[in-house]
Amino acid sequence: VQATKLVTQRLHSEIISMFILLPSCPGVARIEKVLIANRGEIACRVMRTAKKMGVRSVAVYSEADRHSMHVAMADEAYHIGPAASQQSYLSMEKVLEVAKKSGSHAVHPGYGFLSENTEFAEACKQEGIIFIGPPSSAIRDMGIKSTSKHIMSAAGVPIIGGYHGEDQSNERLQAEAAQIGYPVMIKAVRGGGGKGMRIARSDADFLEQLESARREARKSFNDDVMLVEKFVEDPRHVEVQVFGDMHGNAVYLFERDCSVQRRHQKIIEEAPGPGISPEVRRKLGEAAVRAAKAVNYVGAGTVEFIMDAQHNFYFMEMNTRLQVEHPVSEMITGTDLVEWQLRVAAGERLPLLQDDIILRGHSFEARIYAEDPNNDFLPGAGPLLHLSTPPADLDTRIETGVREGDEVSAHYDPMIAKLVVWGEDRSAALKRLRYCLRQYNIVGLNTNIDFLLSLSGHPEFEAGNVSTSFIPQHYAELFPAPRAPSGDTICQAALGLVLQERKHTQEFTHTSNGETRASYRASGL
């Protein structure tokens, strides 16, 4: 199996080099060296594909990352500043300077940092360096909520019904609410953090909620202009992976469900969405492709929808980058989306068209974080004194940027790894996920691994009954009162301490005086 895989990979990269790397190939740019303007797991992820394709990779790093995994993996690495990302990973000038100095043909921004920065995309272009991402016009259009909703509506993508007009009279707002259909959300235009926001469930309830929202908005933002929107009860967060090329092709690679979130951040994602029929799947995919085509999208993108209990879905926003959770889409389609990105950025056509993209099996991703779930998921940092993971294989991926002995830095996102698994169906994939989580051992800092086990073992999660309210709704079962450690655990801990002490005293035995020897003998059992 290994040999066949190797041969296939070789052939594959040879075919790729025929297409991408030969400067003589008409209309196709040369990408022989790529700078990865990022750190951690995504930098390592991109480099792995670059290596497979025979493309040299250039890393940039901050002072805090001098000895990190992505630096070790790169063919070349350049220091770009202090730990604070403002002065390193977010510094356009420094990244561009390294791109020029190193002779990189392209820049891969990963996610976060400069990935959705139109100024940076344009600056790369001006320097004759390929920005691996969509045209800056698409980033700009999608970055502004009201603009993106207009474009989507015009392209026939379902958007959430709402009134954003200037007429703020009670009568008008109430009439609009009836038109949209209850329940509706009344929201301060300048609002944020849940302030100036009320839900009206019926016409009878509307005016009272409106007044209450206005009062709070005046107090919080000194502005009581309201908008009215359809309220979706316990929605699901469903997003579609799309891909476009420079030749006008765009495809979808099915949907991901990323409903289960804490602090508005995803923790477990899966593909395809549980319980979604082939018909809804096709509608979702086609709507997402319309969205991509409406902005002449090129490269990897994600179209986010909210979905109600009846599987109606509404456009929320488009993310114009590779997402953290892209591996689950790769697992169910047998694709390498970073490879697609590099090929498309060089001007090639999409490797597959819609009819050739086949959905197979089910995939989960669990994000392993340095955080304390029992303390409102407070982010943590610290050394990875011990780290052992389940073995990676074709159906199990460990996407990480740290090794045993490394630090999880307080300067950046506290994600330690993404555990990605595949199975023939959802229940097989879930079983594998839980099996692998149990084999994940980290000592040195708090992690959410036990929480991920509770979450993935919850009967409603097993049934695929997920929504963005999942964690608050099942709080009591997900956070049982802490139990006293068992007798076995206490014995193991005591034994661990004794063994450690013995090791220490042994180290001193040869150089120290009689007292140390005595204590060695005493603790030597």
Q: Which residue number, 480 or 514, has a Cβ lying nearer to ligand NAG?
A: 480
415 within 8 A of 368, measured Cβ to Cβ: yes
Distances (CA, A) of 302 to 288, 318, 322, 348: 8, 6, 8, 20
What whole-number distance in Å separates Cα of residue 121 and Cα of residue 129? 9
Measured distance between the N- and C-terminal CA atoms of the chain, rounded to whole angstroms: 49
Q: How far apart are CA 309 and CA 313, in angstroms?
A: 10
For ligand NAG, the binding residues (CB under 6 A) are 460, 465, 473
Nearer to ligand NAG, 249 or 465 (CB): 465
CB under 8 A, 24+ apart: contacts of 132-137: 132/34, 132/106, 132/107, 132/108, 132/299, 132/341, 132/342, 132/345, 133/109, 133/299, 133/320, 133/321, 134/244, 134/295, 134/297, 134/298, 134/299, 134/301, 134/320, 135/296, 135/298, 137/295, 137/296
Whole-angstrom Cα distance, residue 58 to residue 155? 39
> Which of these, 52, 42, 51, 37, lies nearest to 6 by C-alpha position?
52
Least spacing, CB of residue 234 vs ligand NAG, in Å: 7
Of 136, 94, 146, the residue nearest 115 (C-alpha): 136
Closest-CB residue for ligand NAG? 465
Bridge pairing between strands 261-262 and 226-230: unpaired
Which residue, 55 or 238, is less far from ligand NAG as judged by CB?
Answer: 238
Q: Is 321 exposed, middle or buried (0-12, 13-18, 19+ CB in 10 A)?
A: buried
Task: Tell the smallest beta-carbon distance from residue 236 to ligand NAG (Å).
Answer: 11
Catalytic residues: 321
Query: Which residue's CB is nearer to ligand NAG, number 85 or number 469?
Result: 469
| Residue 317: burial class (beta carbons within 10 Å; 0-12, 13-18, 19+) | middle
Nearer of residues 56 and 458 to ligand NAG, judged by Cβ = 458
Closer CB to ligand NAG, 40 or 274, in the complex: 274
Rounded distance between C-alpha atoms, residue 152 and residue 154, angstroms? 5
Residue 459 or 487 having the CB closest to ligand NAG: 459
